[in-house]
Structure 1
Amino acid sequence: MMKGKVCVTGASGFLASWLIKRLLLSGYHVIGTVRDPDDDKKLAHLWKLEGAKDRLQLVKAELTEEGSFDSAIFGCAGVFHTASPVLGRPTSDPKAEILKPAIDGTLNVLRSCKKNPSLRRVVLTSSSSTVRARDVSSPNVALDESSWSSVELCEQYQIWYALSKTLAEKAAWEFCNNNNIDLVTVLPSFVIGPSLPQHLCSTAADVLGLLKGETIRFQYHGRMGYVHIDDVALCHILVYEHKDAHGRYLCSSTVVDNEELTSLLSARYPTLPIPRKFEKLDRPYYELDTTKLRSLGFKFKSLEEMFDDCVAYLKEQGHLQLL
């Protein structure tokens, strides 16, 4: 059953690919934006999705090029903006390389949305990092959608990803409020699960390192929320479809310390050299209050389920061997 036409930006990405998979299974016609629609190798996984042959179109758009999303978005009832820059390598100016594209890219997409008379709702992928960066002296209370990360703290400690997501989301809210655009934002925690693209995404690479005995990738987590990739995709569709959905939605199944996580994983996968000790970080204790999302009837997969699915994927792809 056709549910109408929607646009997904950054279509080849880890989350966007899962979102497109779920949208197609739900009966939507999907317009996905990519940098190069002719890159068959990078996009092959999307064309293998059920329903892709009949209800998926991939079109070119550049995040920082104003107007490049106009044709993709025009005629769509919904827009899912998932595309966002991530620093995958050391750089001389990380602030300029991640902040400007994140903010300008979001505004470019929203300016195209403003031109579209068919638009019903925009769903923006933000991050739980937009609520977590706060002073260590902050009270130990559960963080909810009313919480915002401290811009000053992000600047001071050069937490560029959190800063980029915070400033981009704030810019989105200002623009949409000023232009009467129905916006809902989703704030996922650390996303775990199988990757549909052929290349190993950064989160799967982090998990693989941990399962092989490395601590460096997870060291900075300290205490972290985790959520299954499929739950994040389903959450986006839920808040798009639910007429009463509004504002921000934290999307996280469980919050655990590194030691709690690796204790669980060591017991579950005893043949893997999973580390048990991590350097203690001076960071505040926190929980994430997901009552708002759960009130819409949403149920999260468990920590065990998300890591089981991720481990099975890593094994299937030949990245990991279980004795």
Structure 2
Amino acid sequence: MAPLPSPQVCVTGGGGYVASWLVKLLLSRGYAVHATVRDPCDPKNAHLMQLDGAAESLRLFKADVLDSAALAAAVEGCEGVFHVASPVPADKIVDPESEVMVPAVKGTLNVLEVCSSMKVRKVVVVSSTSSVYFNPNWPQGKPKDESCWSDKKLCVEKKLWYSVAKTVAEETALEYGEKNGLNVVTVCPCLVFGPQLQPIVNASSELLIYVIKGGPNAMVDTLLHIVDVRDVADALLLVYEKQESSGRYISAPNYIKTKAMLELLKKAYPNYNYVKCKANVDQNSPLTPISSAKLKNLGWKPRELEETLLDSIEYYRKTEILQDAEGEGQACRLPDLFQILNAAEE
């Protein structure tokens, strides 16, 4: 008897931080993967074809989420789609509409419309806890859960464009699924740390490097929610494979105050400069505890925070990222996305 063909799935934005780990996981579990990238020949995507099983089971497709025809070619023959591609701008957003809103919202709709026309069985959309955090009306002291949505008006007022884009895109995805009979599940990871597979340093890794190397500005001692990139990949595959999964899932298992995180890191690696930390005067920080109970009840088992942090540093040391940032003109900076963590200047 001929072996059964491998189940085929598509991952958008395949070369990114989370998507690369997801592709690696899917290949290890016997899936055939179609990954969309902007340019299959770009050296920054070369790591994908070096993954175990890639030669036999991975195909790269040149596609942008705003190009429906290219997406259709990538999704053809796939029973599931993981929509991971999303703009995460590290620099200050000048034109929110073209930089984040259109790619996040229109891009997500394009993917879903293609999935509908191709009769895809299930779509997993990667959202973010920034679509959960910013809700001033949530009862104080109650951990935020999947029923909590960020207040879009508040996010616009505070110019939190990434949060606006993620919230609108996720609402749009779930509404589209309801209306069109497409099985859509969303996963909302918090701050993602852990080793990288891709060569380009992504925004959340830049934040951790800033913390370790002691960037120029102090940070506020606030609550940070952290998840391991490998656990995010596990969560995405889990909600895909579990038939009973539905709606949204928060993936934010660990939280720690900035100061406590610095102490943990200093104990293991005392020789770095580390960022300065100031007491947080704003007692109304939106960063209150959030719950991942729904995902854990599905069978998700994330790793301990310490393992994630130390594995991250080991990766930066091994790849000499920590040394590189000391070069001339390589000022260590906090990505604009995380300016909320910056302490106000005295």
TM range (shorter): over 0.9
Give the match for residue 98 of structure 1: 100
Query: How do 1:154-303 residues align onto structure 2 when only pairs under 5 Å count?
Result: 154-214=155-215, 216=217, 219=219, 222-278=222-278, 280=280, 282=282, 283-284=285-286, 286-303=288-305
Aligned equivalents of 1:111 and 1:220: distance in 2?
A: 42
Q: Tell me if the contact between 1:154 and 1:160 (Cα under 8 Å) persists in the aligned partners.
A: yes
Secondary structure in 2 aligned to 1:97?
Answer: helix
Over the residues paired in the alignment, what is the CA RMSD in angstroms?
Answer: 1.9
* Shift of residue 280, structure 1, vs aligned partner: 1.9
| Cα 1:318–1:45 shift into 2, 3 Å | same
In the alignment, does 2:15 pair up with 1:12? Answer: yes
Query: What is the identity, as a one-letter code, of the residue corresponding to 2:173?
Result: A
Q: Tell me if the contact between 2:9 and 2:34 (Cα under 8 Å) persists in the aligned partners.
A: yes
Aligned equivalents of 1:279 and 1:69: distance in 2?
A: 47
Match of 1:312 among 306, 314, 339: 314
Aligned equivalents of 1:271 and 1:236: distance in 2?
A: 36
Give the match for residue 44 of structure 1: 46
Match of 1:70 among 43, 48, 72: 72
* Shift of residue 229, structure 1, vs aligned partner: 0.4
Secondary structure in 2 aligned to 1:140?
Answer: coil
Secondary structure in 2 aligned to 1:305?
Answer: helix
Aligned pairs, how many? 318
Query: What is the identity, as a one-letter code, of the residue corresponding to 1:22?
Result: L
Alpha-carbon displacement from aligned partner over 1:273-302 (angstroms, at most 9, x marks no partner): 223523525214511111111112211111
Secondary structure in 2 aligned to 1:67?
Answer: helix
In the alignment, does 2:37 pair up with 1:34? Answer: yes
Give the match for residue 340 of structure 2: none
Aligned equivalents of 1:284 and 1:314: distance in 2?
A: 30
* Shift of residue 263, structure 1, vs aligned partner: 2.0
In the alignment, does 2:91 pair up with 1:89? Answer: yes
Structure 2's unaligned 5+ residue stretches are: 324-346
| Cα 1:108–1:169 shift into 2, 3 Å | same
Query: What is the identity, as a one-letter code, of the residue corresponding to 1:183?
Result: V
* Shift of residue 2, structure 1, vs aligned partner: 5.6
Structure 1's unaligned 5+ residue stretches are: none
Q: Tell me if the contact between 1:263 and 1:276 (Cα under 8 Å) persists in the aligned partners.
A: no
Query: What is the identity, as a one-letter code, of the residue corresponding to 2:24?
Result: K
Higher mean C-alpha displacement, 265-274 vs 307-316: 265-274
* Shift of residue 215, structure 1, vs aligned partner: 6.3
Q: Percent identity?
A: 37
Query: What is the identity, as a one-letter code, of the residue corresponding to 1:11?
Result: G
| Cα 1:262–1:21 shift into 2, 3 Å | same
Alpha-carbon displacement from aligned partner over 1:111-159 (angstroms, at most 9, x marks no partner): 1001112x21100000011110122885121011111000011011000
Query: What is the identity, as a one-letter code, of the residue corresponding to 2:189?
Result: P
Higher mean C-alpha displacement, 288-297 vs 75-84: 288-297
Aligned equivalents of 1:95 and 1:258: distance in 2?
A: 32
Query: What is the identity, as a one-letter code, of the residue corresponding to 2:255?
Result: V
Alpha-carbon displacement from aligned partner over 1:237-293 (angstroms, at most 9, x marks no partner): 011001111111111121122112112222222222223523525214511111111
Aligned equivalents of 1:139 and 1:96: distance in 2?
A: 35
Q: Tell me if the contact between 1:226 and 1:255 (Cα under 8 Å) persists in the aligned partners.
A: yes
Alpha-carbon displacement from aligned partner over 1:168-190 (angstroms, at most 9, x marks no partner): 00111111111100011111010
Q: Tell me if the contact between 2:220 and 2:279 (Cα under 8 Å) persists in the aligned partners.
A: no
Aligned equivalents of 2:138 and 2:176: distance in 1?
A: 33
* Shift of residue 68, structure 1, vs aligned partner: 2.6
Stretches (4+) displaced over 3 A:
218-221
Could you tell me the TM-score, scaled by structure 1's length? Answer: 0.93
Higher mean C-alpha displacement, 224-233 vs 279-288: 279-288
Match of 1:21 among 13, 24, 38: 24
